[in-house]
Structure 1
Amino acid sequence: MTARAAVADVAPLLLALDPPQRAALPAAAAPVLSALTDTLGLPGVSVVPDVTGLSAAELVITARLSRVDWSEPVGAVEPLPVPTVVPAADGVPLRCHLSGPADGPPVVVVSACGMPVGLISRWLDRLSREHRVLTWDSRGLFTPEFDDGATGVDTQAADLLTLLDAHGMTGAHLVGLCGGAPIALAAAARTDRVGSLSLWHGDYELGEAAPKTAHQRDVQALMTMAGRSRAKAASLHGLFRRPQALATLRADIAHHLYYPYATPELLYRYGALNGAIMTTDCRPLAAAAAQPTLVVTSGADTTAHPAGSRYVAAALPNAALVEFPTGDHLSAFDAGEDLLTLATGFIADPDPRRHSDQTDPEPR
């Protein structure tokens, strides 16, 4: 992993947090890191000798930057990609990331709310080989502008449709990951500009129709509280500054997972947006989305209950369910070769009948 790639991975955190953030790194890293942040237009990072006194955010920054050999020459530094900005219906800027051939079949990756684009890099890298791939950053979580009155699933689905219009995409395939699955469903239920969907380890509110995991219940309660007011989010945020907040985060991607908890304002906005996703009844959405759909889950997912995916697959008018015997929730973001092969196969031939016999694929 190059120093430039590591710094790019923590760029969202550096831009969101008050500078300078600290990182416990070898002293030799300081001049290299300073040159890189200057070249990439990022706030500087102060190198300190050990982790004593570092906040949770500084610890995840340290963990990511520590995976670099700072003695290696950096060489030419490629600038950070500049997102395309499209205004939403209410004027909130939507930061878009486009890749792949301009004339390729359109695919939109609807990621989990609040997650930096780096979390889905394997999806984007693979799909963009043959497809025109679009994704975007959750409204208000990567820009100063935020509309407190426009946080619902309908608004977030309308953002997706706005982006389809802005980029002239018709017949697009939507890849919905985790909390992105309800947004994809809501968009598909409202338009014929979506040709097909695949929903991966979806986090669905289904009332009494399907159980939730303890994780889903806990996060939904947290989102409801944090999204209630800025004052409430600020009072909760102290918990997320402590190193103990990182105990349940997977170390190699903690810098992505921690992002929407990094500041009180981010936590408030995340609570409002993700809380809306986690409390919106998806049963009417599943009944209304007629497009061919592949629903994927794992019996080993203890984050988003697989029963939710089973219900959605049965409720959709034209869907197939693929349930892997192994693989936790984050394996959907790891995007192993088996998942990517399944996804690209369905995008090329979105007939659920040809995939309905894949109920027990090989373990991941």
Structure 2
Amino acid sequence: MPVLTLADGHGLAYAVTGPEGAPWLVLGNSLMTTQAIWAEQVAAFSDRFRVLTWDQRGHGASALPAGPLDMATLAADLVALCEALDVTGATYVGLSMGVPTGLTALPALVGRVSQLVLVDGLAASSGAAFWDERIGFARANGMAALAAQTAARWLPSAVAKRPELEAMIASVPLEGFAACAHALRGYDARAAFEDFAGPVLLIAGEADARIVPGMQALASSRPGTRLALVPGAGHLPCFEAPERFNALLAETL
């Protein structure tokens, strides 16, 4: 897997799949998942799109950060990738943490991102307390315990897929999780969302009770923005219900 060495020396693992010259499709993963979460989308769309995935800092094959991160740093990583690979006219699909990562990067991606698909994520942080509790739980109990708890919550209708997700989450180093969770404690990318001139589609798992109300409010805040709910799915509809998710994504591509 190729690794981009960033200006600060950090190594960022990424993959590009699909024919040269095809339209770009950039897929940004969530906290506690690697770029493997997009396997069904890469398989479905790389015949006609140039698909870019990457592991956010501290996840997958990317290097471990030295300490807590902020959203500006995660967004700068995306910008560096797009510049290095000369990404233009892309559809950006962000999942959970990938939503604020992409939105925070938008002002520096003019001409490189032409439309957005935002999945089970928010444009502004819901506050520090939730993330402080999650970090504390992981430090006290380990990533395997966090993985089991999270997979059960995130995949309400796909029990058979929980072991795969548990293994993915448990593979994330504790300090990688904690560093990125810290970035989610306080961010606000609502202005970038409202100012974006291109088409926007919001997708959420219908059963993701913590996120759906915020996404409904997000859709209402920007004229022409539609929220599509995936029946029965939780926080990761691209993984839990890929056929339905891919159909929604195909409609906007």
TM-score interval (norm. to shorter) = 0.7 to 0.9
Query: Which residue is equivalent to 1:151?
Result: 69
Question: SS of 2:184's equivalent?
Answer: helix
Amino acid at match of 1:116: T
Asked if residue 177 in structure 1 is aligned to residue 89 in structure 2, the reply is no
Structure 1 residue runs of 5 or longer lacking an equivalent are 1-82, 208-215, 227-235, 261-265, 348-364
2:235 to 294, 306, 329: 329
1:122 matched to 2:43: no
CA distance in 1, matches of 2:33, 2:2: 18
> Higher relative contact order at CA 8 Å, sep ≥6: structure 1 or structure 2?
2
Q: Deviations over 1:170-195 (max 9, x none)?
A: 11110111211111111224321111
TM (norm. structure 1) is 0.59
CA shift digits 1:64-118 (9 cap, x unpaired):
xxxxxxxxxxxxxxxxxxx111122322111111111112111110011342232
Which amino acid in structure 2 is aligned with residue 288 of structure 1? D
Report the RMSD for the aligned CA atoms in angstroms.
2.8
Residue 35 (structure 2) pairs with residue 133 (structure 1): no
Q: Tell me if structure 1 keeps the 8 A contact 2:3–2:11.
A: yes
Letter in 2 for 1:133: V
Indicate conservation of the 8 Å contact 1:289/1:316, yes or no: no
Residue 86 of structure 1 aligns with which residue?
Answer: 4
Tell me the equivalent position of 1:9: none
In 2, distance between residues paired with 1:146 and 1:240? 17
% identical equivalent positions: 27
Match of 1:221 in 2: 132
Q: Is the 8 A contact 2:35 2:55 kept in 1?
A: yes
Question: Hey, what's the Cα distance between the residues in 2 that align with 1:283 and 1:144?
Answer: 28
Question: CA offset at residue 149 of structure 1?
Answer: 6.0
Displacement, 1:273?
1.4
Give the structure 2 partner of residue 311 of structure 1.
217
In the TM superposition, residue 292 of structure 1 has moved relative to its aligned partner by: 1.4
Identify the match of residue 255 of structure 1 among 167, 177, 201: 167
Contact 2:38 2:238 in 1 (8 A): no
Structure 1 residue matching 2:142: 3-state secondary structure:
helix
Mean alpha-carbon deviation: is it higher for 124-133 or for 290-299?
Answer: 290-299
How big is the shift at 1:314? 2.5
Q: Partner amino acid for 2:117? A: S
Q: Indicate the residue corresponding to 1:197 in structure 2.
A: 116
Contact kept in structure 1, 2:3 and 2:12, CA below 8 Å: yes
Give 1:277 deviation, angstroms: 2.5
Name the aligned partner's letter for residue 293 of structure 1.
V
The letter of the residue matching 1:107 is L
**Residue identity matched to 1:301:** D
- In 2, Cα distance between equivalents of 1:147 and 1:257: 17
**Partner residue of 1:338?**
244
TM-score calculated relative to the size of structure 2: 0.82
Structure 2 unaligned spans of 5+: 152-161
Change (3 A) 1:322 1:158: same
What is the DSSP-based 3-state SS (H/G/I as helix, E as strand, rest coil) of the residue aligned with 1:196?
strand
| Cα distance, 1:300–1:127 mapped onto 2, change above 3 Å | same
Q: Indicate conservation of the 8 Å contact 1:206/1:283, yes or no.
A: no
1:170–1:178 Cα change, 3 Å: same
Separation (CA, whole Å) in 1 of partners of 2:133 and 2:150: 15
- Given that 2:30 and 2:96 are in contact with CA atoms closer than 8 Å, whether structure 1 keeps it comes out as yes
| 1:63 match | none
Indicate if the aligned counterparts of 1:289 and 1:317 stay in contact, CA closer than 8 A: no
Check 1:324–1:241 CA distance in 2 against 1; reply closer, same or farther (3 A cut): closer
Q: Tell me by how many angstroms 1:134 deviates.
A: 0.5
Contact 1:108 1:172 in 2 (8 A): yes
Moved more, 140-149 or 246-255: 140-149
Shift of 1:125: 1.1
Cα distance change, pair 224–285 in 1 and its aligned pair in 2 (3 A): farther
The 8 Å contact of residues 68 and 178 in structure 2, kept in 1 or not, is answered as no
State the alpha-carbon separation in 1 of the partners of residues 95 and 233 from structure 2: 14
What's 1:289 paired with?
Answer: 196
How many residues are matched? Answer: 242
Asked if the contact 1:174/1:184 (under 8 Å) is kept, the reply is yes
* Kept after mapping to 1: 8 A contact 2:12/2:62: no
